[in-house]
Amino acid sequence: MKLEFQERQFVPVLLGGDINTYSVARAFYEAYHVKSYVFGKYMSGPSCYSKITNYRANPKMDTDEMILKAVNAVSNRYKNKKIFVLGCGDNYVMAVNHCKERFPDNVIAPYIDIEQMSQLVNKEHFYELCDKYGIDHPATLIYRREMGMDFEVNFTYPVVLKPSDGVDYFAHSFEGQNKVYIIRSRKMLEETIQKIYEAGYSDSLIIQDMIPGNDEYMRVLTSYSGKDKKVKMMCLGHVLLEEHTPLGMGNHALILTEPNKPLMEKAKKLLEEIGFTGFSNFDIKYDSRDGKYKFFELNVRQGRSNFYVTNSGFNIAKYLVEDYIENKDIPFEIAQDEYLWMVVPKYVAFKYVKDAGTKKKMRRLIKEKKMVNPLFMRKDLGIRRYLRLVKNHLRQYGNFRKYYK
């Protein structure tokens, strides 16, 4: 089967190389039959060797200098078209925002201003907003380096420890670095804090009450806010399984789309009150102790698992094009129907999902062909790309055996 491409008024430029990037490129192809330019750091990942991307790699791709060079090159080549520039990771989004004022006039970078973005990605500030707008979040202690070890944790171990600023944190790598830490004692807490700051991290740390429950208690909420600062779309996913590798902790592996209007209304109110524009992505967990949904963080971009939204009938590329190119009046919609998004082998999914009723629902959706793995697009399986995908797919068996607790 051959891919077909069409000339459009716009060209997508995507920064990154992982599943996030490929999912956005696939959304653009499925809606408009366009090929996306993708700029990543390495010749790896699902966008590499794809037929729906022009993939370019440079180890310094997440720097302002290289982003400007890449975007300017595409802009100059297509002077009579609009160029969408989308970051597909926190570091890329921040870098795009740093460069936004220096982009040519035909470039669209659909993001809030850099000052507001810097505040929202900081978890400490996000929890202040939650308190202001009546959104529940886990009991939290904000730790600052100047506190030394003179502080008290007023909730029981184990607790969760994570950086307030993820971009700065991952810029200072060290042996044993995790995305999130499950801390089981005061001694372990002090040792981990010391290790993080010795690596060069400088912002605050978040110490949180650990909400009980496995992956099936998690939710992910994706929204699109138009350039008029009104929410246009919301799609809630019930996370059924996450990755458990040290640097992949919390990455979604299996999502079931399902609505929850009261929960979505809370997030909608916050987004519109602060004047947000573009894609947003909330991580949430249901707390069975008090029956409340607790918000963990706000990502100021489409999430890594964004194709669960497109697969549910809300193609994310269409929102950008209809808003910025076609200037349509987009009505507010929420995803209602059940669909399944899966990036692990079916055996892994059914082995590690615990709830019998959920497994029954998964089988039904697979039978009804309402399940998608965004990476295995049928027309985009050249031999080199296919073999890489299969190798990474099979690696999940070992990853879950080793890390899933």
| 62-76, 170-184, 272-286, range with the lowest pLDDT | 170-184
CATH H-level, domain 215-374: superfamily: ATP-grasp fold, B domain (3.30.470.20)
Instruction: Decide if 234 contacts 281 (C-beta within 8 A).
Output: no
* 51: pLDDT strictly greater than 80: yes
Q: Where in the chain is the domain with CATH 3.40.50.720?
A: 10-109
CATH of 10-109, one of 3.40.50.1100, 3.50.40.10, 3.40.50.720, 3.40.50.360: 3.40.50.720
Q: Which CATH architecture fits 139-209?
A: 2-Layer Sandwich (3.30)
DSSP string, 195-257: HHHHTT--S-EEEEE---S-GGGEEEEEEEE-TTS-EEEEEEEEEEEE--STTTTT-EEEEEE
20 pLDDT tier (thresholds 50, 70, 90): very high
The proportion of the chain whose per-residue pLDDT surpasses 90, expressed as a percent, equals: 94
| Average pLDDT score over residue span 161-172 | 90
Task: Give the pLDDT confidence score for residue 247 in this predicted structure.
Answer: 83
Q: What's the predicted TM-score (pTM) here?
A: 0.93
* 1: pLDDT strictly greater than 80: no
Task: Give the pLDDT confidence score for residue 165 in this predicted structure.
Answer: 87
Query: How much is the mean pLDDT over the chain?
Result: 96
Task: Give the pLDDT confidence score for residue 319 in this predicted structure.
Answer: 98
Q: Where in the chain is the domain with CATH 3.30.1490.20?
A: 139-209
Per-residue pLDDT reduced to its tens digit, 300-337 = 999 999 999 999 999 999 999 999 999 999 999 999 99
Q: Where in the chain is the domain with CATH 3.30.470.20?
A: 215-374
Task: Give the pLDDT confidence score for residue 2 in this predicted structure.
Answer: 87
Task: Give the pLDDT confidence score for residue 405 in this predicted structure.
Answer: 81
The token duo for 288 is 């069975």
